[in-house]
Amino acid sequence: MPAPSAAFPDPADAPWWTRAVVYQIYPRSFADGDGDGFGDLTGIASRLDHLADLGVDVIWLSPIYPSPQHDNGYDIADYQGIDPRFGTLEQFDQLLAAVHERGMKLIMDLVVNHTSDEHAWFRESRSARTAAKRDWYIWRDPRPGCTGGSPGAEPTNWRSFFSGPAWQWDEATGQYYLRLFASQQPDLNWDHPDVRRAVYAMMRWWLDRGVDGFRMDVINLISKGAFVDVEPVASPMPLGAEQYANGPRVHEYLREMHREVFAGRDAELMTVGETPGTPLEQAQLYTDPTRGEVDMIFQFEHVGLDHGKGGKWDPATLNLRHLKANLARWQDGLAGRGWNSLYLNNHDQPRLVSRFGDDGQALEERGDVEHGNRVRYASATAWAAVLHLQCGTPFIYQGEEFGMTNVPFSGIEDFHDVEAINHYTEAVTARGADPRDVLAALRLMTRDNARTPVQWDASVHGGFSAGSERPDVTPWMPVNPNYATINAAADRASDRSIFRFYQRLIELRHTDDVVAFGRFHLLEPDHEQLFAYTRTLGERTLLLTANLSGGPCVLPPSCRPADATPVLANLAEPAAEPAADPAVLQPWEARVVEVRNAG
């Protein structure tokens, strides 16, 4: 049998991150160590043993830099500091040391497509047209014949990711600056060599401090093309994205970054590029280890498959056949050429168990709490098995490991997410949409679903804040009301523990070469309930079958090997005799077996 990857032909010589599992922390919502209602570095440090017990290898911290927090820290005002809300540089160094002492690594979120409008670079840039750093950002005159600041006067018709035009008028200097996201997030001009030198120097500063790498926010947007109007096309990306997504010099800049920042360092480092709108052909370039760009990317195709014709805010039912085809295409397309990241949850996505599984909340509302917990456990672990048994580096988002769910938001006043609030304002005010319809979509798809405080136990506010029994301590965002029954402590004490199932998945990736490197082959692509595939390395084959539905699923002959050894199951111990027909998967049941004599 051929080796699974020409990029890493010998598993013994493969990079360390090919066997790693990453855990994402959204710091403001992870744990509050000082009792002010806002997650912080001391809170993270207090929960490191939870992550060490889980078995993860890497912690990815969402931004903790000084920021005015217009986009929850993704608007950075100082790249070489810690926001006082989170702590100090000294506390960061202590956290980093504690992570390393437990055998884990820590990567930072790097946001360098844009800065905050309060960053010193931008303050100088906007001070005058003749400012030394004027060209560190992208400034343009109004459209010819138009008055700056008036509707339609923007230099191009590009749209922002967060609704509205992608250009912001600056009255003081009489020009527009490009801002693909919030108005307070001006885009850096990566074509300016001084910008790149400053970014690389900052990255080296963090690596010298002991950081183990970076997750790079929207890194494929840094190279802009022509600043021209574009024709509307059917796309999940904003109007104009074809001019800057995977732009003309992005690969050049990433190779330069690799040479200037990472090459020659005697350290085990990791780079992950977030790349919205990136097709497989571009991903092959980004992650080819011979090119020296990034180790892996986050692509978005699979998490857009439940978007309707109107995009994210027009949610549709997931078609499992489409998801299987998409994930298989990426598995096959990067085999031997690059490396996949594996995720279904993060700070920008709704909760997995509510979005694609069954979170049991409807049953609990009817008083059947026990049945609701069983269903939530089963669907959470079935989806976990489907994801973690693929080839790539899995990413776990905080709370996913014990089944946190979406939130029952009431009105628009409950939302914090700038993307959701801007959409609501534009849809209701500008387009006259029914507020009830808009809110229904927001409840399903808002990023706020992922950003409520982690539910550690059944105490006040889910144990999020130290001293939370004090009446004056209120988390920055309300805890999901279901924290009394859905929390880490309850799950870890349960006979049906999502946490323990994740532990076993992580252990398999660490110990079994087939899980880490085996060739992927999709089975039954047209089945509407069943996700099944094999992983093969040498003479060994693992078979995963998962029923991703609320009804029983009869296994087709291709998924019923005559001679197989149980490896993992979510509804029964592998060594146990099945209580039901082995040819039938129960709702949300997942099984992993090793097939003997596979031929």
Q: Please indicate, yes or no, if residue 499 is contained in any of the structural domains.
A: no
| DSSP three-state, residue 51 | helix
571: CATH: 2.60.40.1180
DSSP calls for 243-302: GTTT-TTHHHHHHHHIIIIITT-SS--EEEEE-TT--HHHHHHHH-TTT-S-SEEE--SG
Answer yes or no: are the C-beta atoms of 375 and 363 closer than 8 Å. Answer: yes
Buried b (16+ CB within 10 A) or exposed e, 28-52: bbbbbbbbbbbbbbbbbbbbbebbe
Query: What's the pLDDT score for residue 9?
Result: 66
Q: Are residues 161 and 76 in the same domain?
A: no
In a domain, 570, yes or no: yes
CATH number reported for the structural domain that contains residue 254 in this entry: 3.20.20.80
Residues 455 and 524 in one domain: no
Note whether residue 509 is domain-resident.
Answer: no
Asked whether residue 467 is assigned to any structural domain, the reply reads: yes
Instruction: Find the domain containing 210 and state its range.
Output: 11-113+193-366+392-493
Using CB atoms within 10 A of its CB, is residue 216 exposed (0-12), middle (13-18) or buried (19+)?
buried
Query: Phi, psi (5° rounding) for residue 313?
Result: -90, 15
What is the arrangement of strands in the sheet containing 540-547, beginning at the earlier edge strand? 519-523, 530-537, 540-547, 590-595, 564-569
Is residue 224 domain-shared with residue 326, that is, in the same domain? Answer: yes
Per residue, the 3-state secondary structure of 173-216, as one string, reads CCEEEECCCCCCCCEECCCCHHHHHHHHHHHHHHHHHCCCEEEE
User: Cβ(79)–Cβ(185) under 8 Å?
Assistant: no
Q: What is the predicted pLDDT for the residue at 281?
A: 97
pLDDT value, residue 4 = 41
CA–CA distances in Å: residue 488 to residues 54, 87, 97, 175, 446: 12, 25, 25, 51, 23
Q: Is 58 helix (H, G, I), strand (E, B) or coil?
A: strand
At 234-255, the pLDDT tens digits run 777 788 999 999 999 999 999 9
Do 182 and 208 have their domain in common? no
Structural domains of the chain, count? 3
594: β partners: 542, 565
As a whole number of angstroms, the distance between CA 132 and CA 121 comes to 10
CB 285 within 8 A of CB 254: no
Does residue 257 belong to any structural domain of this protein?
yes
In the block, which residue shows the tokens 């298989």? Answer: 328
Residues with pLDDT less than 50, the chain: 1-6, 574-578, 599
Same domain, 105 and 144: no
Give the pLDDT of residue 577.
46
Residue 381 falls inside a structural domain: no
Give helix 498-511 / helix 369-388 axis angle, nearest 10°: 10
Region label for 533, one of left (φ > 0), alpha (ψ between -120 and 50) or beta (otherwise):
beta
Give the tokens for residue 187: 């885009």
Q: Compute how many other C-beta atoms are within 10 angstroms of the C-beta atom of residue 150.
A: 11
Q: How far apart are CA 394 and CA 152, in angstroms?
A: 44
Report the catalytic residues: 217, 274
Residue 254 near residue 222, CB atoms below 8 Å: no
* Residues 142 and 97 grouped into a single domain: no
Give the single-character DSSP code of 460: G
Asked if the structure places residue 532 within a domain, the reply is yes
pTM metric for this prediction:
0.95
Q: Do 505 and 342 touch, CB atoms closer than 8 A? A: no
Distance, in Å, from the CA atom of 582 to the CA atom of 595, rounded to the nearest integer, reads: 15
Instruction: Count CB atoms within 10 A of the CB of residue 579.
Output: 9
Task: Report the pLDDT value the prediction gives residue 469, as an integer from 0 to 100.
Answer: 66
Output the domain CATH number for residue 121. Answer: 3.90.400.10
